[in-house]
Amino acid sequence: MCLILFGYQISEKYPLILAANRDEFHQRPTAPMHFWETDPAILAGRDLEQGGTWFGINRKGRFAGLTNYREPATVNPDAVSRGEIIIDFLSSATDIPAYFNAFNATADRYNGFNLLFGSKDELYWYSNKKKMMEKIPPGIHGLSNHFLNTPWPKIQSGKKALENIINSCITPEALFSMLTDQHRPEDKDLPDTGVGIEWERLLSPLFIQDPSYGTRSSTVMLMDKNGHVEITERTYSSKNKNRYSDCCFSFAPEAPL
């Protein structure tokens, strides 16, 4: 994923509200969100090139979403695929702090990433660029291709839009509409992440549309106070964001985490 906006413990009805976009090259083969045959407790899309995923949740309500850390000068082409991180986490029965204390020792095998993970009751952020896990406080937060709540224009505008939705009417369609915002900020407000100004412009909106690279799918997830999950993955046509298909799921957690 390249953008995750979320409200945590600020809505009485939905302690966790999440809206995210996955940006990728259009030719990269992908399977939409489904319960995996190899592990029926995991619900996730699948990268058919490397076998991993960018976002997933298990039947106990534990979830994780990953964004790449944009720093092309440090990318190792031989690094282990980051897509396996989520699957390993969702398959583990180890409690979260213990899991990541152990994971920290091997995190340098991967190129830079951020991980948002946890449940409606405990939520964390981890980056292998900082090599530390932080518990997330209640509030509205945003994560893109730098650290949590880095004030990039898309994070700032996305958080404001999410706040407006939470204060008015929380619906999946309102969240999907927010995620299709294609406004591009002025050049002076763009970050410099080492990809050049043309790519900075292309990557600056919440929703990216380009013939070769763009927002392939959006994910909206609502967790209520009982842990019931409503989640929809919307996959877009590469040529028209108004042409899409949805995969929708609704389930209660099997047991407390």
143-183 pLDDT tens trace: 999 999 999 999 999 999 999 999 999 999 999 999 999 99
Domain annotation covers residue 256: no
* CA 82 vs CA 41, 125, 148, 235: distances in Å: 20, 15, 18, 21
Q: Is the pLDDT of residue 256 over 80?
A: no
Q: Is 75 within the bounds of a domain?
A: yes
Mean confidence (pLDDT) of the chain: 95
Q: What is the mean pLDDT of residues 38-42?
A: 94
Tens digits of per-residue pLDDT, 197-240?
Answer: 999 999 999 999 999 999 999 999 999 999 999 999 999 998 88
Q: What is the mean pLDDT of residues 243-255?
A: 92
Task: Look at residue 257 and tell me if it is in a domain.
Answer: no
CATH label of the domain that carries residue 219: 3.60.60.10
pTM of the model: 0.96
Question: In Å, what is the CA distance from 243 to each residue of 55, 57, 217, 238, 240?
Answer: 22, 26, 11, 9, 6
Half-sphere exposure of 199 (CA within 13 A, CB side): 11
Give the integer Cα–Cα distance in Å for 157 and 190: 13
What average pLDDT score do residues 242-256 get?
Answer: 89
pLDDT at position 241, please?
A: 87
Q: How far is CA 191 from the centre of its chain?
A: 20
> What single-letter amino acid sits at 147?
F
- Average pLDDT for 115-126: 93
Q: Tell me the C-alpha to C-alpha distance, in Å, between residue 111 and each of 77, 116, 143.
A: 9, 16, 17
**Strand pairing partners for 17?**
7, 222
pLDDT of residue 257: 44
Gap between the Cα atoms of 153 and 46, Å rounded: 29
Which of 6-10, 95-99, 207-211 is predicted with the least confidence, judged by mean pLDDT?
95-99
Q: 22 lies in a domain?
A: yes
Full residue range of the structural domain in which residue 156 is found:
3-251
Residue 54 lies in a domain: yes
Residues 77-95: what's their mean pLDDT?
93
pLDDT bin (cut points 50, 70, 90) of residue 254 is confident
What are 103-114's pLDDT values in tens digits?
999 999 999 999
Q: Are 48 and 83 in contact (CB under 8 A)?
A: no
> 42-62: per-residue pLDDT in tens?
999 999 999 999 999 999 999
Q: Is residue 98 part of a domain?
A: yes
Asked whether residue 12 is domain-assigned, the answer is yes
**154 in any annotated domain:** yes
How many domains are there within the chain?
Answer: 1
Q: Confirm if 135 and 31 have CB atoms less than 8 A apart.
A: no
> pLDDT exceeding 90 applies to what percent of the chain?
89
Predicted local confidence at residue 255, as pLDDT: 61
